[in-house]
Amino acid sequence: MDTTISVFTSMLRDASDWVTWISEAPFARAVVFGVNIGGHLFVEGLLLVVILFLLSQKSYKPPKRPLTKKEIDELCDEWVPEPLIPTITDEMKSEPPVLESAAGPHTTVNGKVVVNFTSANYLGLLGNEKLLETCTRALEKYGVGSCGPRGFYGTIDVHLDCESRIANFLGTPDSILYSYGLSTMFSAIPAFCKKGDVIVADEGVHWGIQNGLQLSRSTIMYFKHNDMESLRNTLEKVTQENKRAKKLRRYIVVEAVYQNSGQIAPLDEIIRLKEKYRFRVLLDESNSLGVLGSSGKGLTEYYNVLVDKIDIITATMGHALATEGGFCTGSTRVIEHQRLSSSGYVFSASLPPYLASAAIKAFDILKENPDLITKLRENINTLFKGLQYIQGMEIASDPLSPIVFLRLKKSTGSSKSDLKLLEDIADRVLKEDSVFVVTSKRSTLDKCNLPVGLRLFVSAGHSESDLEKASESLKRVAASLLTDQS
């Protein structure tokens, strides 16, 4: 122990003598440019040289060699891949009821005939004899499919006839057909809106529009649902805060009748704001075509707004027209641009000819039978009045909307719990009274945050007794399950 202490003391003494020698050395008292170089400066300079030397050396790298089979196996055993899909929950496993007949005003579910309020068959044309005859003749003449996109020998004369018929009906210069309703919005929006453009959209737009907005890669700003003051503030913010706003393409995207609430967009106010702030308007008429306006031309006719005030109009033909596919209508430039740059049109097989024939026939029936629109409005009014005082719930939709939207007066606190409660109501009215209604359940991809509810699609094909049955059944079940809500 004593030896160790003496050795350590000797080392300290030697280090002290070395430092003293440096401090008293002749070069330590040297003067350079009038500055006296003390011993401490010499030591600091020496340390700086050592640091620079170390920094200039290459970092140590272990020698490269291939991994052994054992090491590869160990790495493979440790690796856990990311799941391709989210964890499947019990909620995801639930299956909706399966229809065993045509989805008309009455359909068959689990072997039982029910009153159907789940299909957007607004004019009651599903199963119409004239439509079936037209489809049969088209099948015999053209076959089932087209087997090619429109630009690659997939254009058939009936496609051109249908596009012309749509343009004539709505009073626009030209139209373009898509083979699937949702692909119309998926494709038309990205065809015009690009990265750097600004889109101001209603927060309640349906998933098809949401997907089109995402695919466009534009700057997306949402305004409060159907709130024109919020829209005005958003447009003001875009134009005032963005110095490049005047050089950007700017769009307002709305639905005529919102699928997620049943509310009707105030088109007159939207047009006023559009013209004031110099935006373009994209309007989806999927739930208003054949419904609003004296002849069923949609929201523009309902508000008596010139159709050329709307830059782009889209709609699906799977609702009031009881066929399939979608269309976009507008100026010739708007339509021709899509024929070259819209992915859903350029790369998809064209609409099966018999569906285009059915759409033409549906427009003819609508023109010849305006009483279908009158009957639909009467049915909407009957159901709306019948559900006004339902316990624990309230009607969120417009009195003229073909979508009667019921939501809870008091939320349970979570959207999932609200949905479960609404599904219980839908299940009971189906089992006990054979009334088929649907909740506004959304996919995991849907970003809409509006309250969930029960969605009843009214048809001109419903009888008064159908509507009364639905009203009484929903009121009875709601009174049973929503006892804590007034």
Of 445, 458, 462, which Cα lies nearest the Cα of 405? 458
Residue 29: the pLDDT is 53
Name, in order, each residue with C-beta under 8 angstroms of 63's C-beta and a sequence gap of 6 or more. none
Write out the DSSP string of 264-303: BP-HHHHHHHHHHHT-EEEEE-TTTTTTSSTTS--HHHHT
pLDDT digits (tens, 9 = 90+) for 200-220: 999 999 999 999 999 999 999
Does residue 309 contact residue 319 with C-beta atoms inside 8 Å? Answer: no
Give the end-to-end CA distance of the chain in Å, rounded to a whole number.
90
pLDDT digits (tens, 9 = 90+) for 64-82: 778 888 888 888 888 888 8
Residue 141: the pLDDT is 94
Q: Which amino acid, residue 200?
A: V
The C-alpha angle 296, 222, 120, rounded to 5 degrees, equals 30
CA distance 358 to 317: 10
Residue 80: the pLDDT is 86
Residue 3: the pLDDT is 59
Residue 51: the pLDDT is 79
Residue 57: the pLDDT is 67
Name, in order, each residue with C-beta under 8 angstroms of 247's C-beta and a sequence gap of 6 or more. none
SS3 for 263? coil
CA distance 180 to 278: 31
Handedness of CA 206, 209, 211, 214 (dihedral sign): negative
Residue 97: the pLDDT is 84
Tokens of 236: 């003001």
Tokens of 447: 């970003």
Residues of the chain with pLDDT under 70: 1-44, 57-63, 91-93, 243, 245, 484-486
Backbone angles phi, psi at 283, to 5 degrees: -115, 125
Residue burial 273-303, b: 16+ Cβ < 10 Å; e: rest:
bbeebebbbbbbbbbbbbbbbeebbbbbbbb
